[in-house]
Amino acid sequence: MLLLELGIPFTAIPMKEGHNRLYEGADGTGLSREAFLKASPMGYVPALTIDHETTITELSAVLFYISSLAPERGMTGHGAVENAKVLQWMSWLSTTLNEYGFAGYWRPSRMVGPEASSEAEEAVRAEGKKTILKGFDILEGWLDGTGYAVGGHLTVVDFMLQWGKTGFDMDRYPRFRDVARRAEQLPSVRQALRIEGIEMEFEGQK
């Protein structure tokens, strides 16, 4: 989404996820898991390779680098306070909400192991959902109603919030809903969602 929004040329390599989050290149890419691990030893996505030499991993780091290619857009904020607020959001979304919430809810086997019982997985999933809903309440309180997460303008946080909307009642969180809807109306976001095969939550809505 961010690369498209900033008009930065790139080559996308679609990945497929095997058992227990073992990624490798999708069919037709020619990217084996072994080759992927050479570029990204942790074996996770996203992984951004620059000029076939340096690979940056971890979503926050990837977004900060891409944003640095178009500093005039202020995607990581304008000034020290906004920079810090963007970092606060990114850290919280990546750890508390994603790792303890969504990872537990969508991929409980990551927490209890692939051989765990269905009962154990369901218990983890239930705790993950509690974390998500509590996090959404916090998120709603942080937002100021401008339709953006930070500074009254588009930042990387607005893109990060796109994945949080799936499968939950957005009407319970009107400020969150407005940020997600505004971002989804961007051509860059809509194009990225279509490429990923992700259904748009607010298709046709103003």
From the number of C-beta atoms within 10 Å of its C-beta (0-12, 13-18, 19+), residue 140 rates as middle
Distance CA 129, CA 41 (A): 30
pTM of the model: 0.87
Nearest to 1, CA basis, from 149, 120, 12: 12
29-33: list long-range contacts, CB under 8 Å, 24+ apart. Answer: none
Contact 167, 129 (CB under 8 A): no
Q: In the chain, what are the domains? A: 2-71 (3.40.30), 72-195 (1.20.1050.10)
pLDDT in tens, the chain (206 residues): 999 999 999 999 988 887 666 888 999 999 999 999 988 888 888 999 998 889 999 999 999 999 999 999 999 999 999 999 999 999 999 888 888 888 888 888 777 777 888 888 899 989 999 999 999 999 999 999 999 999 999 999 999 998 766 678 888 999 999 999 999 999 999 999 888 888 887 765 55
| Encoded tokens for 171 | 């009407």
